[in-house]
Amino acid sequence: MVRRPKIVVEPPGPKARELIEIDRQYLSPALTRTAPLVGYEAEGVWVRDPDGNEYLDFGSGIAVTNVGHRHPRVVETVKREVDRLIFVNSCDFYTIPQVHLAKKLTEITPGSFKKRVFFVNSGTEAVECGIKATRYYTQRYYFVGFINGFHGRTMGSLAFTTTSPAARRRFQPMMPGVVHAPYPYCYRCPLGHKEGYPECGLACLDYLENEILGHVAPPDEVAGILFEPVQGAGGYIVPPAEWVRGLRKIADEHGIVLMDDEVQAGMGRTGRWWAIEHFGVEPDVVLISKAIAAGFPFGACVAKAEILEWGPGAHENTLGGNPVLASVALTVIDIIEKEGLLENARKVGEHMIKRLKEMQERHEIIGDVRGIGLMVGVEFVKDRRTKEPATKERGKIVQEAFKKGLLLLGAGKSSLRLAPPLVITEEEADVGLDILEETIKEVAGS
């Protein structure tokens, strides 16, 4: 018998409501809060609230719990390591797991060239490290980012983040020197090409080359191009391989560093270690966080050795590379390898996309289905011809599915990002997809 979500009291139940009330009084309302879930217990693909409701997790805490919640080997690693050593700071001293992890990361990231690693505590910090190292190495001023991209919220990474005005309003000046080019969001071409790829001839790449580099940022003054190999917060948007290869070519021609933000798309989510591998491109810098330590704050910037060969004191942090979390990261990598999670992400992802495309035939509100592996986007529209975003309806779908025990996350103006843990089975994915379709039917009346 395949397990299903269990709703014993309409959420939020009394215990959850009490807690949310206290949260309202004390926590900053800057957090958007998708649904009134109070996480209490979890394992694998299941999360329980304090009222006894059990939810199927289709979001993995934004692509974090790739090996599943509280994988027994992760729990065992934490207990073992905490019993031995919790902390020695890495700016001044050395620890064993950090060294092993750095070596392993250089082996599993693309490119057989010599690499170096810098450890951090979050995605935004991985990006900051990449930006700083790139500027230091090239001694150039400009960076290219992309419209609708998300790279974090600190002043350097935020300078690249353009998913919504709310993220940027009242925060200028951010780090100067960042110019934005259109991303190949082909379902809604930012350059207005109705015919789409490949008929457009990759106009967005031409725009970057001829308009941005031709008029705004002279290419010999551009330090780096920072991009997501699949846009995450922007709506799980997969670019054409030719575009990614085009970025590599432009970078090579002008001595620009190609910076691959794998914070959300990496660690096996797309069925390969790194999403960029689907496009046959080797970046110069890879930025990693989220799933690397199964929910603990951790991250890394992995780069061609020369880019991270800045002098002592050029960049440091106190908590980066914590030995317990570095051990967890080694365990996470081993789980992904030993349990065949890349293969499972590919298999279940294909199954989900196939089923969602069938659903699209039944429900006018589904404008687009896209994705790679278990990074699957579903975009809702009010009208397939005008493509008017069905933002309210998307919100309602998230809320109503939650009441039925399915955890969904939104992305972009009117998309869902389906990103279950990579351990999910086809049967569990079907349970979630059945709930999703039932909810779409109710909300859209289709």
Ligand X SMILES: Cc1ncc(COP(=O)(O)O)c(C=O)c1O
Provide, rounded to whole angstroms, the least separation between the CB of residue 124 and ligand X: 3
- Tokens 């279940």 locate to 348
Does the footprint of ligand X cover residue 232 (CB under 6 A)? Answer: yes
Interaction with ligand X in 135-194: which residues (CB under 6 A)? Answer: 150-152
- Judge contact between 169 and 252, C-beta under 8 A: no
CB of 108 to ligand X, least distance (A): 18
Per-residue x/- mask for ligand X, residues 278 to 297, rule CB under 6 A? -----------x--------
> In angstroms, rounded to a whole number, what is the distance separating the alpha carbons of residues 152 and 344?
29
Among 60, 90, 98, 124, binds ligand X (CB under 6 A): 124
Q: Are 326 and 101 in contact (CB under 8 A)?
A: yes
* Window 239-278: contact mask with ligand X (x via CB under 6 A): ----------------------x-xx--------------
Whichever of 122 and 331 has its CB closer to ligand X, that residue is 122
Contact between 122 and ligand X per CB under 6 A? yes
What minimum distance in Å lies between the beta carbon of 261 and ligand X? 5
Q: How many Å apart are CA 332 and CA 294, to the nearest integer?
A: 7
* DSSP, res 426: H
Which tokens belong to 301?
């910037």
Amino acid letter for position 299 = G
As a whole number of angstroms, the distance between CA 131 and CA 124 comes to: 10
- Which residue number places its CB atom closest to ligand X? 123
Say how far apart CA 280 and CA 346 lie, in whole Å.
17
- CB atoms < 10 A from the CB of 347, how many? 17
Confirm if 443 and 400 have CB atoms less than 8 A apart: yes
Range 54-73, binding ligand X (CB under 6 A): 62
When the beta carbons of 205 and 265 are compared against ligand X, the nearer one is: 265
Considering the complex, what minimum distance in angstroms separates the CB of residue 206 from ligand X?
A: 25
**CB nearer ligand X, residue 301 or residue 433:** 301
Distance of closest approach, residue 224 Cβ to ligand X, in angstroms:
15
The stretch among 8-16, 123-131, 181-189, 249-257 that binds ligand X (CB under 6 A) is 123-131
User: CA-to-CA distance for 191 and 348, rounded, in angstroms?
Assistant: 34
CA separation for the pair 8, 25 (Å, rounded): 27
Nearer to ligand X among residue 263 and residue 381 (C-beta): 263
Q: Are strands 115-120 and 299-304 parallel, antiparallel or unpaired?
A: antiparallel
Interface ranges with ligand X (CB under 6 A): 62, 122-124, 127, 150-152, 228, 232-233, 261, 263-264, 289
